Amino acid sequence: MKNVKAYKTIGEVENLLKVKPHVLRFWEESFFQIKPLKRKGGRRLYSEDIINLLRIIKNLIIEEGYTVKGVKKYLSKNKISDIKKDGGIKISEELDIKLEHISHYLKKAKNILISEK
């Protein structure tokens, strides 16, 4: 299973944000804050922070009706570290507790399976 904190490809980001790759590349050219890691052959890999920033940019442009110039102004007036946090997926405290319980039980099950080998 892939680590949640692992870098994601442009295809994975496309599926996650429902934004076409050419739009992601355009935003990369338009906003200096978007700097995915580039591998040999130009393959882009996006960190969770970059994805959070892209989520904010998408919301500003698509949902709020900002222009690219307006988003640039927004990004220049706000701390990028705060913006990246705001772009994170929000879950309720109740769901977070349930996920912790599931994680705990999965670790227990894994330990039982390993000890039976």
**Is residue 114 a part of any domain in this protein?**
no
User: What end-to-end distance do the CA atoms of the chain give, in Å?
Assistant: 21
Whether residue 117 lies inside any domain: the answer is no
18-66 pLDDT per residue, tens: 999 999 999 999 999 899 999 888 899 999 989 989 999 999 999 889 9
* 53: CATH: 1.10.1660.10
Count up the domains in the chain and report the number.
Answer: 1
| Average pLDDT rounded to a whole number, residues 1-29 | 87
68 within a domain of the structure (yes/no) = yes
Whole-number Å distance between alpha carbons of 30 and 4 = 27
Query: Is 69 among the domain residues?
Result: yes
Residue identified by tokens 């922070």 is 49
Q: What's the confidence (pLDDT) of residue 83?
A: 61
pLDDT for position 1: 45
The answer to whether residue 21 sits within a structural domain is: yes
Residue 37 maps to a domain: yes
Q: How would you list the strands of the sheet with 8-9, edge to edge?
A: 8-9, 44-46, 37-38
Question: In the chain, what is the greatest distance between 2 CA atoms, to the nearest angstrom?
Answer: 60
Q: What is the mean pLDDT of residues 2-22?
A: 87
Rounded to whole angstroms, the Cα distance separating 45 from 65 reads: 28
Instruction: Record the pTM.
Output: 0.65
Print the domain residue range for 78: 8-88
Question: What is the pLDDT confidence band of residue 111, given thresholds at 50, 70 and 90?
Answer: confident
d(CA 72, CA 33): 10
User: Which has more pLDDT, 23 or 114?
Assistant: 23
Question: Does residue 93 lie within any of the structural domains?
Answer: no
Q: What is the pLDDT of residues 65-94, one digit of tens each?
A: 999 999 998 888 876 655 655 555 566 677
